């Protein structure tokens, strides 16, 4: 969610060869690294969503034109405003493949399908170099293939408002990912992959997408497991919630201003060029209210849709085994550093509650919010970063309170509730809590030293290794986490006994609700009872907080 990564992945510094894979009549040419990894990038899985295909569901394409396709580089980012214009394009529905260099078409290797985060408004696959994950899988004797796919962002990927609902164009970004998975089913065997062993893995918005894709029947035959790092469980919004954001976007498109408040904006939007769309994105920009911007998050899309109802009512439809967890201080990344009043903390609860109770805030919402805030004292010793006592890092003590409330309200309570619900339904659940104090934020934001703690996204360098984000603070902990992740993707069990020595990770259950604490030199199972009263209160009031 709303994360800008500091370091873009540098692909292979030394390319040794030009591996080739044939799909239909086309030969794809990739590159091979010195450590035995092959890369094929920028492979289209859908027709370019331009012109009449803009703001429409993706159209799967499983073949390529021409005899030779150059797959030696990542494709562009989808349209977004935080990158130079020459790095973004609407023609972005492409995927990338990292595989062992000896992966013949008869190998049948498991697939790890990566979904990037970024609040559904930013990010891209090229920020994530999967080489170390594949290299680790080879060294432990359980080789895998790493696939990453792009998806449309912002108003192009998640159009809002009544018109989008009526014309059935909600959640296009999620449909892009489903289409990428369908391409994998059609073609991954040519790369040595096993299409029956696809594990979705995502972080932040990517974890939310992975979880949402796993609901219901749309995922049947496309994936067999999920790894969700810091999944956000925000209240589901119907398309009408985003009407104002949609109208503001359309109003900012030169030539389309006159139709902004009508139910017929698509014709105009489909007939302007990409530079005009990008100009409108830059003009509207992110929200400036001091609250995390969820203007372009997925919507409830009704019967037959990907998200037909409130997420809290759909968890029971998730039938895929899952690794799911959080970082210790999820909320600090989002907390405004100038937070100084209880009103600001209160507003975050009000604004992320059930929409029908918000305007104006109902008595039920006001009373429930007051009771929730009583569970989070103004004493900084109880705030986040947790375990830092009375330190305030030069900030107002309310910063730590805001961060604690937001992290629990949006992320921690959801993880615990999902774990309990899924395990009670007989689904394999493995929970974790990443608490390594040496982890650093993967973000480029001004923050008082020490104020972020073990924040949102800080586990990424441990999961991906040095070729993606530089060396993690604890290489040994990184090896342990990679072993668990790979073991799960291969066998649906993180405890295959291969690779680094590590504790046995027990399955989450009502009788044994323990989670793995990931911490350097202290990776152990712990009871899932931190902040019991606070998280229990949030969960018990799902009719208000909708988790």
User: What are the tens digits of pLDDT across the range 507-539?
Assistant: 999 899 999 999 999 999 999 999 999 999 999
Element (H, E) at 193: strand 193-203
CA dihedral (209, 214, 217, 219) in degrees, to 10, reads: 80
Segment 77-91 shows an average pLDDT of 95
Q: Does position 45 have pLDDT exceeding 90, yes or no? A: yes
In degrees, to the nearest 5, what angle opens at C-alpha 209 toward C-alphas 205 and 236?
85
Write down the pLDDT at residue 10.
53
List, in order, residues 6 or more apart from 99 with CB less than 8 Å away: 37, 38, 40, 109, 134, 145, 146, 191, 192, 193
Element (H, E) at 178: helix 172-187
User: What letter does residue 381 receive in the DSSP assignment?
Assistant: G
Q: Does position 14 have pLDDT exceeding 70, yes or no? A: no
Write down the pLDDT at residue 288.
47
For residue 304, tell me if it sits in a domain.
Answer: yes
Segment 68-91 shows an average pLDDT of 96
Query: Does the annotation mark 330 as catalytic?
Result: yes
Assign 1 a pLDDT band (cuts: 50, 70, 90): very low
Element (H, E) at 147: strand 145-149
Segment 476-503 shows an average pLDDT of 98
On whether the CB atoms of residues 467 and 127 are closer than 8 A, the answer is no
Assign 290 a pLDDT band (cuts: 50, 70, 90): low
User: What letter does residue 273 receive in the DSSP assignment?
Assistant: -
Per annotation, catalytic residue among 203, 456, 459, 461: 456
The rounded distance, in Å, linking the Cα atoms of 423 and 417 is 10
Segment 177-184 shows an average pLDDT of 99
User: What are the tens digits of pLDDT across the range 120-159?
Assistant: 999 999 999 999 999 999 999 999 999 999 999 999 999 9
- Percent share of the chain, pLDDT over 90: 81
Assign 3 a pLDDT band (cuts: 50, 70, 90): very low
Write down the pLDDT at residue 359.
74
Share the mean pLDDT of the chain.
92
Segment 420-440 shows an average pLDDT of 96
Grouping H, G, I as helix, E, B as strand and the rest as coil, residue 176 is helix
For residue 39, tell me if it sits in a domain.
Answer: yes
Assign 249 a pLDDT band (cuts: 50, 70, 90): very high
Assign 2 a pLDDT band (cuts: 50, 70, 90): very low
Per annotation, catalytic residue among 38, 330, 398, 459: 330
- Residue-wise DSSP of 296-337: TS-B---TTSSS-S-HHHHGGG--S-EEEEEETBGGGGTS-T
Q: Which domain holds residue 334?
A: 15-545
For residue 342, tell me if it sits in a domain.
Answer: yes
Assign 236 a pLDDT band (cuts: 50, 70, 90): low
Round the CA-based radius of gyration of the chain to a whole number and report it. 22
Write down the pLDDT at residue 216.
82
Structural domain count of the chain: 1
- Residue-wise DSSP of 469-526: HS--S-HHHHHHHHHHHHHHHHHS-S--S-SS-----PPPBTTB-EEEEE-TT--EEE
Alpha helices in 384-435 (DSSP H): 398-407, 413-424
On the CB side of 378, how many CA atoms lie within 13 Å of its CA?
9
Read off the CATH number of the domain in which 510 is found. Answer: 3.40.50.1820
Per annotation, catalytic residue among 148, 204, 384, 461: 204
For residue 1, tell me if it sits in a domain.
Answer: no
Query: Does the annotation mark 456 as catalytic?
Result: yes
The rounded distance, in Å, linking the Cα atoms of 67 and 159 is 37
Instruction: Return phi, psi of residue 139, to 5°.
Output: -65, -30
In degrees, to the nearest 5, what angle opens at C-alpha 449 toward C-alphas 335 and 464?
80
The region of weakest confidence among 213-217, 260-264, 265-269, 511-515 is: 213-217
The rounded distance, in Å, linking the Cα atoms of 89 and 70 is 18
For residue 107, tell me if it sits in a domain.
Answer: yes
For residue 4, tell me if it sits in a domain.
Answer: no
């Amino acid at each position: 969610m709303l994360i800008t990564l500091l370091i873009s992945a540098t692909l292979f510094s030394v390319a040794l060869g030009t591996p080739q894979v044939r799909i239909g009549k086309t030969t794809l040419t990739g590159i091979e690294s010195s450590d035995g990894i092959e890369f094929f990038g920028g492979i289209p899985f859908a027709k370019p969503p331009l012109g009449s295909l803009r703001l429409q569901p993706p159209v799967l394409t499983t073949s390529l034109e021409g005899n030779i396709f150059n797959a030696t580089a990542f494709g562009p980012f989808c349209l977004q405003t935080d990158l130079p214009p020459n790095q973004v394009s609407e023609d972005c529905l492409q995927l990338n493949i990292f595989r062992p260099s000896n992966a013949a078409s008869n190998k049948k290797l498991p697939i790890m399908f990566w979904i990037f985060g970024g609040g559904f408004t930013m990010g891209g696959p090229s920020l994530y170099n999967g080489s170390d994950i594949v290299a680790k899988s080879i060294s432990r004797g359980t080789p895998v293939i790493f696939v990453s796919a792009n998806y449309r962002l912002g108003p192009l990927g998640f159009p809002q408002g009544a018109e989008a609902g009526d014309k059935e164009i909600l959640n296009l970004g999620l449909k892009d990912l489903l289409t990428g998975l369908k391409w994998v089913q059609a073609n991954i065997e040519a790369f040595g992959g096993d299409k029956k062993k696809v594990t979705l893995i995502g972080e932040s918005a990517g974890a939310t997408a992975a979880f949402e894709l796993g609901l219901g029947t749309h995922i049947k035959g496309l994936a067999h497991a999920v790894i969700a790092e810091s999944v956000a469980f925000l209240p589901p919004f119907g398309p009408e919630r985003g009407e104002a954001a949609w109208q503001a976007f359309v109003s900012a498109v030169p030539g389309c201003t006159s139709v902004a408040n009508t139910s017929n904006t698509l014709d105009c939007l489909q007939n302007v060029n990409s530079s005009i769309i990008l100009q409108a994105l830059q003009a509207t920009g992110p929200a400036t209210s001091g609250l995390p911007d969820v203007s372009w998050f997925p919507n409830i899309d009704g019967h037959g849709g990907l998200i037909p109802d409130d997420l809290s009512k759909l968890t029971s439809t998730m039938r895929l085994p899952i690794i799911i967890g959080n970082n210790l201080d999820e909320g600090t990344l989002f907390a405004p550093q100038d937070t100084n009043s209880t009103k600001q903390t209160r507003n975050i609860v009000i604004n992320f509650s059930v929409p029908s109770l918000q305007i104006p805030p109902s008595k039920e919402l006001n009373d429930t919010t007051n009771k929730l805030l009583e569970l989070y004292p103004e004493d900084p010793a109880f705030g986040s970063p947790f375990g830092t006592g009375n330190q305030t890092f030069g900030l107002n003590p309310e910063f730590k309170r805001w961060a604690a409330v937001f992290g629990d309200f949006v992320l921690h309570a959801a993880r615990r509730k999902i774990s309990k619900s899924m395990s009670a339904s007989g689904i394999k659940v493995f929970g974790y809590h990443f608490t390594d104090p040496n982890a650093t934020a993967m973000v480029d934001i001004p923050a008082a030293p020490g104020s972020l703690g073990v924040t949102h996204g800080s586990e990424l360098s441990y999961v991906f290794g040095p070729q993606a984000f530089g060396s993690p603070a604890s290489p040994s902990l990184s090896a342990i986490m990679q072993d668990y992740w790979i073991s799960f993707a291969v066998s649906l069990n993180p405890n295959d006994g291969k690779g680094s020595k590590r504790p046995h990770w027990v399955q989450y259950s009502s009788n044994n609700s323990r989670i793995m604490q990931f911490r350097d030199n202290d990776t152990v199972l712990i009871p899932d009872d931190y902040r019991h009263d606070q998280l229990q209160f949030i969960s018990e009031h799902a009719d208000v907080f909708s988790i």
